[in-house]
């Protein structure tokens, strides 16, 4: 029994106390995941947006024309999974930018707003000038530009602000804008600060769009960090160290091959306050980089920080955040620091919000052992879009590369969540027991691993010396085959009993199985790079099982055999505050954006709040309002079919901050 699918939240106001949910094969197929991959053609007229069918893994380009209306959002709010709504509900952010703009834009001038969104900052700038200056709003994402036009019209700002649907690096003075701008207002920041292209955007703006020595809002950004010890964070990246404590005979990371599986070297956004009890600070906060918006930034930078250790422990990670200075005088600030940091009184603490989190950088292996009073050298490097860190750690003599030269050029990158699952001894033991029971009494079985599970592939080959294992690896593909070749010896089987399908085909046939029908069809289920979806969007295993039905033997074993859609009514006031309907935002009416952005609360009929994929433990304050209940079941032993369920939710719907948390519990056998 396991629950691997990401939990999903829907606001309780969209459900009655007797909740009915119906899913059909057709509806499952047409749940689409909007991905932020965009390509423009004649950028002011047309946009191509990539959509993924989660049940097949196939993708398609959808064309959005400039003269099209925004699509009907009654069933699927177009921009619900973006961060726009959360940002607009962040009152600390809104007030800080308003104060910064009013202190900076004090007379009529030309203001350029890059990444204008709904036009909030543009309208603030226009208001600060008494509608007498010039405001150019640049918004490259066509659906948002359409929405901004509606917001400007609602607030009688359509004539005061010139909206251009282009990337800022496509703007030309004398063509798109009348002259170089005197003031830049922009909020193209992510949790890492640089990930949305802040540096190249500022470089181009200073080179082509701004006057010399322009005024800017924000004025400056400073990044900070803190060295921490955390077993919780360690388990998210060091599979080698975790697996050393597991004795099930499966070696995802063989001895001496520590780097064969690891997470991508990058900063991971995370609400660190949620795991405050799991974090032990090993240093005071320290300054890392400073970026001045009012001058042209460099593409790359390096710094070395001598950090004094304040307690004994192992340095597992760097927790980082940033502080914005909105005005030149240094009176208006905004910080993304965790709450355990003692921020100066003039910065203060913001409310919980999801659009800007702290970031975590993992140090490889078991961490660096340090003692109180010791000093360590932290090296930080930034590119145009990211920041990385390194500690002055001596490479141990037992380094992987001295053990096995065959694997030094191969590395399999997995997400922190997947590494934590593979390191979970309880999860491993339950899966091992299920596969062992499934193999009992079977002679020369053909076992098909339908998903991207390297663990099940190794397990099936290890537990049965007569089995033939065919792994489809639809996402990993050749990476999966390379990985198996590198770990085959450590897991006591030969590759002549394991086959990886090389070519991607619509479906397996008896020709692919050499005329033999499938005895076992198994999956975790896990599909590489397909995480963070709604629970039912992860029913791809059921879809694959259905396609393979013609080549299954009569007594074929399907694992997992069942999925159960579970639910619980919850109070999540922090999440509610960040997703609630908008009205007045710093003096500007934003009620028109609620449906498109997927707001929750008092929506006009028949509009409903959206389904949102969230990790519930990252949602701020949490309180369960009901017992866990079952909505419906998915029988994987049979081909995919329509299913429905009804559940009674008791004593929950009258509470204002109510949500329904949904997840799928997996029954292996």
Residues belonging to the active site: 187, 196
Tokens 């029994």, residue? 1
Strand segments (E) across 316-436: 317-325, 333-335, 358-362, 368-370, 375-382, 387-391, 412-413
- Do 142 and 44 contact (CB within 8 A), yes or no? no
> Rounded CA gap, 193 and 301, in Å?
14
Q: How far is CA 21 from CA 385, 543, 632, 643, 645, in A?
A: 42, 19, 8, 9, 6
Neighbours of 655 (CB within 10 A): 15
Q: Structure tokens of 109?
A: 């001038």
- Do 346 and 334 contact (CB within 8 A), yes or no? no
How many CA atoms are closer than 13 Å to the CA of 347, on its beta-carbon side?
15
Q: Find residue 359's DSSP bridge partners.
A: 269, 320
- Do 510 and 551 contact (CB within 8 A), yes or no? yes
Q: How far is CA 327 from CA 96, 104, 105, 215, in A?
A: 9, 7, 10, 9
Which of 85, 86, 81 is CA-nearest to residue 33? 81
460-463-466-471 Cα dihedral, nearest 10 degrees: 10
Strand segments (E) across 383-524: 387-391, 412-413, 446-449, 468-471, 498-500, 518-522
How many CA atoms are closer than 13 Å to the CA of 28, on its beta-carbon side?
22
- Do 214 and 181 contact (CB within 8 A), yes or no? yes
- What b/e string do you get for 484-511 counting C-beta neighbours within 10 Å, with b at 16 or more? bebbbebbebeeebbbbbeeeeeebeee
Which of 405, 407, 415, 467 is CA-nearest to residue 436? 467
């Amino acid at each position: 029994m396991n629950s691997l699918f990401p939990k999903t939240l829907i606001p309780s106001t969209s459900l009655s106390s007797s909740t009915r949910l119906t899913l059909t094969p057709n509806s499952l197929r047409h749940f689409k995941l909007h991905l932020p991959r965009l390509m423009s053609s004649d950028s002011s007229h047309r946009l191509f947006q990539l959509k993924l069918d989660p049940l097949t893994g196939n993708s398609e380009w959808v064309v959005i024309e400039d003269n099209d209306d925004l699509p009907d959002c009654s069933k699927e709010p177009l921009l619900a999974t973006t961060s726009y709504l959360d940002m607009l509900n962040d009152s600390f952010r809104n007030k800080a930018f308003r104060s910064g703009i009013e202190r900076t834009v004090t007379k009529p001038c030309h203001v350029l707003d890059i990444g204008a969104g709904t036009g909030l900052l543009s309208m603030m700038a226009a208001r600060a000038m008494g509608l007498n200056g010039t405001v150019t709003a640049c918004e490259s994402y066509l659906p948002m530009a359409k929405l901004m036009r509606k917001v400007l019209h609602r607030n009688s700002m359509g004539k005061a602000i010139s909206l251009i649907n282009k990337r800022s690096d496509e703007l030309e003075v004398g063509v798109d804008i009348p002259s170089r701008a005197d003031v830049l207002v922009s909020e193209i920041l992510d949790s890492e600060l640089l990930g949305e292209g802040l540096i190249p955007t500022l470089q181009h703006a200073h080179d082509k769009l701004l006057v010399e020595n322009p005024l800017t809002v924000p004025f400056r950004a400073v990044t900070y960090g803190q060295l921490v010890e955390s077993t919780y964070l360690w388990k998210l990246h060091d599979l080698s160290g975790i697996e050393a404590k597991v004795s099930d005979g499966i070696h995802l990371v063989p001895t001496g091959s520590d780097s064969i599986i690891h997470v991508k070297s990058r900063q991971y956004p995370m609400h660190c306050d949620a795991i405050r009890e799991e974090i032990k600070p090993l240093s005071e906060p320290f300054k890392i980089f400073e970026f001045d918006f009012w001058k042209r930034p460099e593409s790359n930078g390096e710094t070395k920080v001598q950090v004094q250790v304040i307690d004994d422990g192992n340095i597992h990670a760097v927790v980082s955040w940033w502080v914005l200075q909105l005005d030149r005088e240094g009176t208006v600030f905004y910080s993304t620091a965790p709450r355990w940091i003692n921020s100066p009184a003039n910065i203060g603490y913001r409310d919980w919000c999801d659009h800007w989190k702290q970031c975590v950088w993992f140090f490889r292996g078991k961490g660096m052992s340090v003692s109180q009073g010791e000093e360590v050298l932290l090296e930080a490097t930034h590119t145009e879009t990211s920041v990385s860190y390194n500690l002055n750690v001596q490479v141990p003599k037992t380094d992987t590369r001295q053990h096995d030269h065959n694997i030094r050029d191969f590395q399999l990158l997995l997400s922190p969540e997947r590494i934590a699952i593979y390191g979970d001894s309880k999860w491993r033991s339950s899966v091992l027991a299920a596969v062992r029971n499934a193999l009992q009494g079977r002679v020369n079985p053909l076992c098909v691993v339908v998903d991207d599970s390297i663990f099940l592939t190794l397990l099936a080959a290890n537990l049965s010396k007569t089995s033939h294992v065919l792994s489809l690896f639809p996402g990993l593909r050749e990476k999966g085959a390379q990985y198996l070749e590198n770990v085959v010896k450590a897991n006591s089987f030969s590759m002549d009993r394991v086959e990886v399908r090389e070519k991607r085909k619509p479906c397996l046939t008896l020709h692919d199985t050499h005329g033999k029908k499938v005895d076992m069809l198994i999956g975790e289920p896990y599909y590489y790079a397909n995480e963070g979806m709604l629970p039912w969007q992860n029913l791809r295993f059921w879809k694959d099982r259905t396609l393979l039905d013609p080549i299954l033997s009569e007594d074929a074993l399907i694992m997992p055999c069942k999925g159960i859609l579970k639910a619980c009514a919850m109070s999540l006031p922090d999440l509610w505050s960040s997703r609630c309907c908008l009205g007045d935002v710093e003096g500007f009416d934003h009620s028109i954006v609620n449906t498109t952005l997927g707001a929750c609360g008092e929506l006009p009929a028949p509009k409903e709040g959206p389904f949102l994929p969230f990790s519930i433990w990252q949602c701020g304050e949490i309180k369960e309002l009901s017992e866990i209940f079952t909505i419906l079941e998915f029988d994987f032993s049979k081909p995919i079919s329509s299913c429905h369920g009804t559940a009674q939710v008791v004593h929950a719907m009258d509470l204002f901050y109510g949500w329904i948390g949904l997840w799928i519990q997996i029954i292996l056998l």
